[in-house]
Amino acid sequence: MASTCTYQFDTTIYKGAVTFPTQLFINGEFVDPVNKGTIDLINPATCKAIARVSLGDHEDIEIAAQAARAAFKEHWGLKVSGEARSKLLHKLADLVDANTDQIAALEALNVGKTFHAAKAMDLPITGSLLRYYAGWADKLQGKSIQTTPDKIGFTRHEPIGVVGAIVPWNFPLSTLIMKLAPALACGNTIVAKPSEFTPLSALYLCTLIREAGFPPGVVNIVPGYGDTAGQAVGESMIIDKVAFTGSTLTGRKIMEAAARSNLKKISLELGGKSPSIIFNDADVDQAVKWAINGIFMNQGELCVAGSRIYVQEGIYDDFLQKFTESAQCLSVGDPFSPDTFQGPQISERQFKRVMDYIKSGQAEGATLRLGGERYGTEGYFIQPTIFTDCTPNMKIVQEEIFGPVAAIMKFSAEEGALIFHVPVGNSFYGVKEVIEQANNTTYGLACSVYTKDIDRAMRVASNIEAGTAWVNFSNWPDLGLPVGGFKQSGMGRDLGEDALENYTNVKAVHINIGIKI
């Protein structure tokens, strides 16, 4: 079994060689899986094989978890100062920044996202995440809480222990680092399972983790299938916490596995069906650009994608025309071309899934205004697709498509469309069509509202059931602000100070300074 792989990239935007290990990374070493499992990865732009890499199984997760437990006790956890952890995270950030081109090329090759998007967005976010949480590593503070005169009480925020991180394929490295950076900053060790489809950037990261000087066992990376290696993370009796990003369906399985095993803590970042609400007074040109970004960015493979677009009737025709023209101009094709906006979907399975949703939209009576077909003859490309005349219960309005498919709905005058909590006597009344429709899904991940009226923006943002509300823009994460879901979009928060709660236990220490019995 080959243990390394070398790519020679010779594209217009990146030329260079990238070498990376293809084995599991456990206890600071690259090792073969116990059962010698492998997977052949494909380039979704060509459907051709690009690498054969190792895949771990239950046994490998258990070995990695044992290594992580030993490292937690011996070299990490409460044994190492926050400053020391911070330095290592900063070193890793420097190494990621120094290898941006190489990692962006691997992401483009393996995921199908464009090289320039990976380089301009995924990689800078990855480096910044490491630095952001490096900054927190020596600032984990509890409170001194005065209770009675003869007692002193204070709280400590202690690491939980071994964290299992399970991540999807749409932002493979940055999502992994979103778990790894706060987990390590708080003093935990980690067993990470990247998606079976997209392990290359994580494998490349292992070489940087070694170079940065993390003690063996602090970070372990085991690519594997979800129903074997992923399930093993959920069921492990050694792993104390699972930080998961992925579908709501898998989130449920992880919850069940945690309940069946050691009641490990879990945080879940799940799916979404986010509404964009555009009012008559919005800057239409800007709203069009942000709404295009909202749904078509990253091939539509985005948990916060603004896939339901509600446009007020006064600007509906203008918006629809401009939105359609813009979508028509999006260049679909080679992820390594500097002009490409949209690459292929990640896999044949995902391609078929999106095409089935397009068929269901047509079958249920929505009007296909743009796209709807495969793009080109090779690779998993789909044309940017727009549906109008959508009704609330259609599958394309209710379910997460995770592809370049927008559903556009018209709403009427403000008076007929919104709850504004007008007090009438002791009760509140108002009109509520758009807000009700926007909230009428099982998800609650994000929303965008476009208006020049700040009062309305605030009212709508507070009435939508979602963990993130963007006003006059979309899909713009801020490392200092938390992301996460209401309803079935998840529990716990990534990013910001709030994410630290996922990775610490709070201990209350009581000191007797006068109580006698």
Site residues, ligand NAD (CB under 6 A): 166-170, 175, 193, 195-196, 225-227, 230-231, 234, 245-247, 250, 253-254, 269-272, 303, 400, 402, 445, 490
Instruction: Pick the closer one to ligand NAD by CB: 40 or 455.
Output: 40
How many Cβ atoms sit within 10 Å of the Cβ of residue 3?
A: 11
CB of 432 to ligand NAD, least distance (A): 27
Q: Name which of 503, 480, 490, 475 is nearest 179 in CA terms.
A: 503
Instruction: Pick the closer one to ligand NAD by CB: 273 or 322.
Output: 273
Catalytic residue among 303, 390, 400, 414: 303
CB 443 within 8 A of CB 254: no
CB 388 within 8 A of CB 396: no
Q: CA 251 to CA 269: how far, in whole Å? A: 8
Instruction: Pick the closer one to ligand NAD by CB: 303 or 366.
Output: 303
Instruction: Pick the closer one to ligand NAD by CB: 187 or 234.
Output: 234
CB of 128 to ligand NAD, least distance (A): 17
Q: CA 370 to CA 309: how far, in whole Å? A: 15
- List b or e across 102-126, with b for residues whose CB sees 16 or more CB atoms inside 10 angstroms: bbbbbbbbbbbbbbbbbbebbbebb
Cα distances (angstroms) measured from residue 203 to each of 63, 67, 127, 279, 433: 18, 18, 17, 46, 48
CB 241 within 8 A of CB 163: yes
Measured between its terminal Cα atoms, the distance across the chain in Å is: 69
CB of 225 to ligand NAD, least distance (A): 6
* Residue 269 bears catalytic tag: yes
Instruction: Pick the closer one to ligand NAD by CB: 324 or 347.
Output: 347
* Residue 29 bears catalytic tag: no
CB of 248 to ligand NAD, least distance (A): 6
CB of 353 to ligand NAD, least distance (A): 9
Largest separation between any pair of C-alpha atoms in the chain: 83
CB 140 within 8 A of CB 500: yes
CB of 195 to ligand NAD, least distance (A): 4
- Nearest-Å Rg of the Cα atoms of the chain is 24
Residues with Cβ within 8 Å of 54's Cβ and at least 6 positions away in sequence, in order, are 1, 22, 23, 24, 32, 33, 37, 38, 223
Minimal CB distance to ligand NAD: which residue?
226
How many Cβ atoms sit within 10 Å of the Cβ of residue 94?
A: 15
Which secondary structure element, helix H or strand E, spans residue 6, and what is its range?
strand 4-10
Catalytic residue among 107, 196, 235, 269: 269
Residue 227, amino acid: D
Backbone angles phi, psi at 388, to 5 degrees: -120, 180
The distance from CA 21 to its chain's CA centroid, rounded to whole angstroms, is: 25
Instruction: Pick the closer one to ligand NAD by CB: 154 or 225.
Output: 225
CB 55 within 8 A of CB 196: yes
Q: CA 38 to CA 22: how far, in whole Å? A: 9
CB of 349 to ligand NAD, least distance (A): 9
CB of 409 to ligand NAD, least distance (A): 21
CB of 270 to ligand NAD, least distance (A): 5
Strands 275-278 and 265-269: unpaired
Instruction: Pick the closer one to ligand NAD by CB: 161 or 230.
Output: 230
Instruction: Pick the closer one to ligand NAD by CB: 174 or 342.
Output: 174
How many Cβ atoms sit within 10 Å of the Cβ of residue 497?
A: 14
Residue 135, amino acid: G
Instruction: Pick the closer one to ligand NAD by CB: 74 or 227.
Output: 227
Q: SS3 for 419?
A: coil
Q: SS3 for 511?
A: strand
E-strand ranges in 445-486 read 446-450, 468-471
Q: Hey, which residues are catalytic here?
A: 269, 303
